[in-house]
């Protein structure tokens, strides 16, 4: 099928390449010429496993091309809207202006039989307004459907090609049939398929992210209790996780969730519910957000207590991205903690296997180090902020010979406590009672 995808960020670039891999002919559009040039030159602008190979493959077989303009030789069968919906500068609600501007530009180039599909995460009610605006510009009733995306950074392409479900919200059969056709290879494998109305499809995405954020904050709330009662939140998560109504996923306590999705989506959800007059229904998400923020503050307090003040102390932050296998530092707990420590007067060195490039010259107060061993030199405190596998493989004895003071805070609960303690480290694991 002929497909057009608007927005070439994490979602749009991945979706375009996934569609090309399924055998469709894809034109990707983004107003950012740097992004487009980079993709046409075979380079994905962010770190995402497998995406570079998929890009090279689709450029060489001609299944995908990228451009800044909305000039398309013939109207596509389907258009996917994959633009960002960031938190507004002024408040907590989602900024949906990019969705509307993409929609209006598209309305000038599509045909009455083109199906427009929203994939961006939007406040419920956006699709109705978008359909009306697009139809007014196009001069015919636009076919619009909503098809939320559940990909995770770090496994984005794999998640797009092998999703655990496909959700389609539509107002008419024609649109849902077209979407079933585009996803045929995935649906033929028996992938669960949920067909719903459009507002439900919009809500599914924010509800899923709100639930995941709530799970993480729940276990982090248990970690707060564990820390003052001598209990162990890691063992607790294991024990409750065996109940398959609870499940053991997304129950890892630590410095909390970050990224371009969970934090802004829960805030946007609260803002939208308040607009709809049912703010109380999701007001607990404000607590979910507060618990998450408190974990970051907790690490700063711990560092201060352990070091007897932060001024001029040497602190190493291992990891900057919000999760491993990504160089995304949006709302990253590790970066946030590093900045708070620097703000409090510590000399903060940062290491990350891939994110230093994306960090560029932002935050000059942070000292960059590209080599893990070199980064350890003279440190008074090490904090593990992102659980890259390279950090889990650090040999505690040799690493201990490099630092000034063998003190480590494991912000992700991934280190082998016994091995680090045996090598003479004082290890503080968040929410755990294993400290020596």
Q: How far is the CB of 254 from ligand UGA (least distance, A)?
A: 5
Question: Which residue, 150 or 284, has its beta carbon nearer to ligand UGA?
Answer: 150
Contact range with ligand UGA by CB under 6 A, out of 72-80, 144-152, 342-350, 361-369: 144-152
110-129 residues in contact with ligand UGA (CB under 6 A) are 121
Over the window 184 to 213, marking each residue x when it contacts ligand UGA by CB under 6 A and - when it does not, the resulting string is -------------------------x--x-
Q: How far is the CB of 251 from ligand UGA (least distance, A)?
A: 6
Q: How far is the CB of 18 from ligand UGA (least distance, A)?
A: 13
48, 77, 153, 325: residue in contact with ligand UGA (rule CB under 6 A): 153
Contact range with ligand UGA by CB under 6 A, out of 64-72, 110-118, 162-170, 246-254: 246-254
Q: How far is the CB of 2 from ligand UGA (least distance, A)?
A: 26
7, 103, 258, 268: residue in contact with ligand UGA (rule CB under 6 A): 258
28, 84, 123, 256: residue in contact with ligand UGA (rule CB under 6 A): 256
Question: Which residue, 116 or 255, has its beta carbon nearer to ligand UGA?
Answer: 255
- Tell me if 383 sits within 8 A of 411, measured CB to CB: yes
308-347 residues in contact with ligand UGA (CB under 6 A) are 322-323
The count of chain residues that interact with ligand UGA, using the rule CB under 6 A, is 21
d(CA 361, CA 365): 10
Q: Check residue 261 for interaction with ligand UGA (CB under 6 A).
A: yes
Question: Which residue, 10 or 425, has its beta carbon nearer to ligand UGA?
Answer: 10
Question: Which residue, 123 or 256, has its beta carbon nearer to ligand UGA?
Answer: 256
65, 92, 152, 377: residue in contact with ligand UGA (rule CB under 6 A): 152
List active site positions.
Answer: 261
Chain residues binding ligand UGA by CB under 6 A are: 121, 149-153, 209, 212, 216, 250-252, 254, 256-259, 261-262, 322-323
């Amino acid at each position: 099928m002929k497909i057009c995808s608007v927005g070439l960020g994490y979602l749009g670039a991945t979706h375009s390449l996934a569609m090309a891999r399924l055998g469709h002919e894809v034109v990707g559009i983004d107003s950012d010429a740097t992004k487009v040039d980079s993709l046409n030159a075979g380079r994905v602008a962010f770190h995402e496993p497998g995406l570079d190979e998929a890009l090279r493959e689709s450029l060489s077989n001609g299944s995908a091309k990228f451009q800044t303009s909305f000039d398309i030789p013939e109207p596509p069968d389907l258009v996917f809207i994959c633009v960002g919906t960031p938190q507004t500068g002024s408040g907590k609600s989602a900024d949906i202006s990019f969705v509307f501007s993409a929609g209006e530009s598209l309305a000038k180039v599509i045909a009455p039989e083109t199906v427009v599909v929203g994939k961006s995460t939007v406040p419920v009610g956006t699709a109705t307004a978008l359909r009306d605006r697009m139809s007014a510009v196009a001069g015919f009733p636009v076919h619009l459907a909503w098809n939320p995306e559940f990909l995770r950074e770090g496994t984005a392409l794999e998640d797009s090609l092998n999703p655990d479900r496909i959700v389609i919200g539509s107002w008419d059969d024609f649109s849902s049939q077209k979407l079933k056709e585009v996803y045929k290879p995935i649906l033929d494998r028996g992938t669960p398929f949920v067909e719903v109305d459009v507002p439900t499809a919009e809500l599914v995405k924010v509800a899923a992210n709100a639930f995941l954020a709530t799970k993480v904050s729940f276990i982090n709330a248990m970690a707060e209790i564990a820390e003052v009662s001598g209990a162990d939140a890691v063992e607790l998560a294991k024990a409750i996780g065996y109940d398959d109504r609870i499940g053991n996923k997304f129950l890892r306590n630590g410095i909390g969730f970050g990224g371009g999705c969970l934090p802004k989506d829960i805030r946007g959800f609260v803002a939208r519910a308040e607009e709809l007059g049912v703010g109380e229904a999701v007001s607990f998400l404000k607590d979910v957000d507060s618990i998450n923020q408190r974990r970051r503050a907790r690490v700063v307090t711990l560092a201060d207590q352990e070091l007897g003040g932060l001024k001029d102390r040497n602190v190493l932050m291992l990891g900057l991205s919000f999760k491993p296998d990504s160089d995304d530092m949006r709302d990253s707990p590790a970066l946030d903690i590093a900045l708070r420590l620097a703000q409090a007067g510590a000399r903060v060195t940062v290491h990350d296997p891939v994110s230093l490039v994306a960090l560029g010259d932002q935050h000059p107060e942070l000292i960059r180090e590209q080599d893990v061993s070199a980064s350890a030199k003279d440190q008074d405190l090490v904090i593990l902020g992102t659980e890259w596998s390279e950090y889990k493989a650090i040999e505690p004895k040799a690493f201990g010979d490099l630092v000034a003071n063998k003190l480590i805070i494991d912000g992700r609960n991934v280190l082998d406590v016994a091995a680090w303690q045996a090598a003479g480290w004082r290890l503080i694991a968040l929410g755990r009672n294993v400290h020596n």
